[in-house]
Chain A
Amino acid sequence: MQEMIELTIDDEVVSVPAGTTIYHAAMEMGVVIPTLCFHEYCSANALCRVCVVEVEGSRVLVPACVAKVSAGMVVHTDTPRVRSARKTILEMLAASVDVSDSADVLRLMQDYNARSDRFPASIRRESDLIDDNPMYVRDYSKCILCWRCVQVCAQDAQYTFAINFTGRGYETHIGTFYDRSLTETTCVFCGQCVAVCPTGALKPRREWLLEEKDHAHTR
């Protein structure tokens, strides 16, 4: 029999198996904590911090996608402090990358009244679209570094290890070994990465060409 843990989320007592994350415990009782980098079928890494919640007794906000429940824990998923943190995160994202193609980010920005012009002095991370193979294009100016593509290319699915983080700090981006074209890497073009990309940074080439055609029509 699995050990059950009792905790309180948004003033309601809930009992879940030990090892459950706060995110899934909340989901049990119908509370959906917003996420961006989290994907149900990828390893969670708490990178984007949009899922942060307040846990009583904890000095800092806690990422619900990785933090495990503990007995007697008291969690608040929607306090002013939490909302403010999420709003700021979204505004920083919108200030640094092109989120126009990401339905998830746009929806959350609306939910949290986030303004894309909050940080006018920010420098956007721009990069050229990479069209180096017949299957999909990469536009890293739309990348929010959620890590999903890297993980499905690795142990989460494919064991191919064609892409990874490269660079440090502000310069961090997703890249290939020595920045080679994808056809020169171990890439097998399974497109697992394209399927989990939440922002349109990775896109089937065919879809991209159709969009370009649409744009040409409306221009």
Chain B
Amino acid sequence: MLTPDKITSTVCPFCGVGCTLELHIKDNTIYRVTSPHGSPVNHGNLCVKGRFGYDFLYSPRRVTKPLIRKEKQLPGKRTAAASLNEWREASWDEALDLVADRLTEIYQKSGSDAMGMFSCAKATNEENYLMQKIYRALFRTNNVDHCTRLCHAGSVVALQMAVGSSAMSNPAADVQFNDVFIVTGSNTTETHPIISLQMKAAIEKNGAKLIVVDPRRIEMVNYATLFLQQKPGTDVPLFSAMAHVILKEKLYNRQFIDERTEGFDEFAASMEKFTPEYAESISGVDRQLIIQAARMYAGAKNAAIYWALGIPEHTHGVENAMSLIHLAFLTGQIGRTGTGLNPLRGQNNVQGASDSGAMPWHYPGYQVVDNEENAARWEGIWNVEAGGLNRKRGLTNTEIVGAIGPGGILSMYIMGENPVMSEPNANHTRHQFEQLEFYAAQDLFINETHQYADVFLPAAGWAEKDGTFTNTDRLVQRVRRAVDAPGSARPDWMILADVAQRIEARLKRPQSSGWNYSHPGEIIEEMGRGVPDYAGIRYQRLESGGLAVPVPTVDHPGTPVLFEKSFPRGRGMFHPLEYKPPAELPDDEYSFTLTTGRVLEHWHGGTLSSASSLDDLYNQALMELHPQDAARLGFTDGEIARVSSRRGSIEIRVKVVERTSPGVVFIPFFFARAAANILTNDAIDPRAKIPEYKVCAVKVEKPGSSTEDGRLPAYRQRGRY
């Protein structure tokens, strides 16, 4: 048996649940991961990613020295360099000087609108704060975004409009107090496995009733009282029909509506047309099920709604989320333990990256950039001359990619993300990256996007640095350095502070915005000076456990449940809704609906999970095809199909399974070979700017002469798929 040299307590680097991990270390190597059974979020339980997925740190593909492309890359002719032979090793000084020289040169020549960056939901709060500070304080641009745009932007915008805040209202562990709960657009057992354990226990041990609304027959359906198997993209009519029933049968909470909300009458009038019959005709869900679901939710003592990306990832993502918010407003199922509106966040720190201001319309703390008072506040904190910060809202992720080219975005700095895999319409994304004048990448691996970079800055992994993550239920927890980074890899916050100083020197700014940090604790304190919710966060306070923001003062105990007495915007706002179909519906040629999503074993753009033993467990994309469709088209399990949309085409192995419904295929998006996002539609929600990953039209064919046969990994039967 191995005896650890030490055991370091930290937070899981994968999904947004924020499980406590204890890393068992011998000779600077992690060999076992456990979790204390008293841990606040996960009670000692972990999923495969948290327990075994850490070994991406030891992947032979990991880059541990700064790299510079051998061949000079020119806009329009930029190429992807997957092989290390196309790169040469460089010193940190040379690499950082090159980044600072080129970014400064492009900024001075073409101005702030030529500058773009992606921050990262995997990085710490401190690193996200620094990344946006560099672009705002030095390059005077708000072209600052990260993958939250591709995840919950629709939920964030809807919640901002309706309640004035955008996070889970209750801790996930509150599920034990639910009598009834709705899970929609969330394959919880695969995307938030630990929350799904608490859901299962609430059902099996406490008798809670579950309503699942989803296009796929996900595992949680095994535990559900009601399963509403909807067609993709029909959330607004379905949930509005539930509101219609609640209104018609007077199941609503009049007192709550009168005291806590506004806009009810106009909203109620707009619900008139959403009869269960109408919803059935669009969603394919039996009207009786819709009526039962409405009665069950409205009749509960404590009811909550949990949703993930099946709700926001639509061109009507804001409306989808709004239709859920309305149910909570109507019934008063919010503001108490065991109730609430709970968007389950995807990444370890997507909540924190958003809180830290890595978004184009907001400074840290969701303070809009086009507000004089907010701009002046940050000019003060960052020592920027009055009027110096850019007041114009920046471009979002998908808009930044679209704007790359002459007259638009000329340079990119990407920390951690992988837009070629994660943005919709991947062929277009690749084409856009070819147009860049300069691209600096900062990561552990040269992922599919970083292959286009000029410079690669090797970053320390999560177990090799200090910082904080904010999990899905707003708990700020300490991330601790447990092992040394390999080679000359450095923590992101150090690289960013170093780059910032070099850029500031080149810009010859008369006063410094302050980049001398000896420890990340100083960074979050600086952020707290402008963000009241984080003002009370101190590293020494986090030693004994996490704190749920808002934490307005250093003696404030944190705020696990939001909206108990009022909403941040005062009264909750109802919004009238109309049904809009998805941007691209099936037709005679593209007769299938494609919906995309995740699997248990992979995560984010796949950069980390594909470099770990998780990839051995699930090594290729499998497309779910309903047995009826498979029989009609002549497909058997494991066969290769050609799937095409108007934007591109891939070859992929078929999994014949009843989890999906006839006419609907599902593809996980992590796999470079058979990348789902070659097919997806880059149509976006007009308000949230989130792409419609969940619905596009495709055709499914026999590949004829397959180019991938023999190149795709062999098909292996797994028990759970």
Contact = CB atoms under 8 A, between A and B. Distances in A.
Given A191-B46, A191-B52, A204-B52, A158 B31 contact: no
Given A41-B44, A103-B1, A204-B52, A159 B31 contact: no
Contact of A188 (B47, B205, B616): B47
A189 B51 CA distance: 9
A41 B37 contact: yes
A135 B48 contact: yes
Given A183-B617, A191-B51, A157 B45 contact: yes
Interface stretch (A51-59, A85-93, A167-175, A206-214): A206-214
A189 B617 contact: yes
Contacts of A189: 48, 51-52, 617
B4 to A, nearest CB: 10
A207 B719 contact: no
Contacts of A126: none
A133 interface: yes
Interface residues of A, number: 36
Contact of B46 (A41, A180, A187, A190): A190
B719 A186 contact: yes
For B35, B45, B718, the residue with the greatest tally of chain A CB atoms inside 10 Å of its CB is B45
Given A135-B52, A135-B617, A195 B1 contact: no
B427 interface: no
Interface string B29-59: 1011111010000011111100110010000
A207 B613 CA distance: 13
B658 to A, nearest CB: 16
Given A191-B51, A210-B31, A134 B1 contact: no
Interface string A132-176: 011110000000000000001001011100100000000000000
A185 interface: yes
B286 to A, nearest CB: 28
Secondary structure type dominating chain A contacts:
loop
Given A155-B204, A184-B718, A207 B32 contact: yes
B583 interface: no
A180 B719 CA distance: 9
Given A133-B617, A200-B1, A204-B31, A188 B48 contact: yes
B617 A195 contact: no
Contact of A195 (B29, B46, B600, B717): B46
A101 interface: yes
15 contacts: A134-B616, A134-B617, A135-B617, A159-B200, A162-B719, A183-B716, A186-B719, A187-B720, A188-B600, A206-B32, A206-B52, A210-B29, A210-B31, A211-B2, A214-B2
Nearest to A199: B1
Contacts of B55: 206
Contacts of B1: 101, 103, 200, 211
A152 to B, nearest CB: 8
A194 B51 contact: yes
B659 interface: no
Interface string A79-116: 00000000000000000000001010000000000000
A15 interface: no
Contacts of A135: 48, 51-52, 613, 617
A159 B197 contact: yes
Contacts, number: 94
A21 interface: no
A40 B36 CA distance: 11
B467 interface: no
Interface in B10-36: 26, 29, 31-35
Contacts of B51: 135, 189-191, 194-195, 204
A118 B541 CA distance: 54
B47 A183 contact: no
B193 interface: yes
Contacts of A204: 31-33, 51-52
Contacts of A8: none
Contacts of A157: 45, 197
Contacts of A159: 197, 200, 204
A20 interface: no
A192 interface: yes
Nearest to B54: A206
A184 B719 contact: yes
Contacts of A185: 719-720
Nearest to A102: B1
Given A135-B613, A204-B31, A186 B720 contact: yes
Nearest to B600: A188
A187 B44 CA distance: 18
A211 B29 CA distance: 13
Given A184-B718, A189-B48, A205-B613, 13 more contacts: A41-B43, A134-B52, A135-B613, A187-B720, A188-B48, A188-B600, A188-B720, A191-B48, A192-B46, A204-B52, A206-B52, A207-B2, A210-B31
A195 B48 contact: no
B430 to A, nearest CB: 31
B47 A190 contact: yes
Contact of B719 (A183, A190, A194): A183
Interface string B599-620: 0100000000000010011000
Contacts of B718: 183-184
A43 to B, nearest CB: 12
Contact of A192 (B26, B29, B45, B189): B45
Nearest to B24: A207
Given A133-B617, A180-B719, A185-B719, A40 B48 contact: no
Contacts of A195: 34-35, 44, 46, 51
Interface in B172-223: 189, 193, 197, 200, 204-205
Greatest chain A CB density within 10 A among B29, B32, B33, B43 is at B32
Please name the 10 residue pairs, one residue from A and one from B, whose CB atoms are nearest each other, closest first: A191-B51, A134-B616, A189-B48, A41-B37, A185-B719, A207-B31, A134-B613, A184-B719, A135-B52, A159-B200
Q: Which of A136, A152, A188 has the most CB of B within 10 A?
A: A188
Contacts of B45: 152, 157-158, 190, 192
A15 B32 CA distance: 40
A184 B32 CA distance: 24
A158 B197 contact: yes
Contacts of B617: 133-135, 183, 189
A195 B50 CA distance: 12
B235 to A, nearest CB: 28
Interface in B590-645: 600, 613, 616-617
B609 to A, nearest CB: 12
A152 B37 CA distance: 12
Nearest to A180: B719
Given A134-B613, A211-B2, A187 B719 contact: yes
Contacts of A200: 1
A68 to B, nearest CB: 20
Contacts of A182: 719
B45 to A, nearest CB: 5
A186 B51 CA distance: 17
Nearest to B205: A155
Nearest to A190: B47
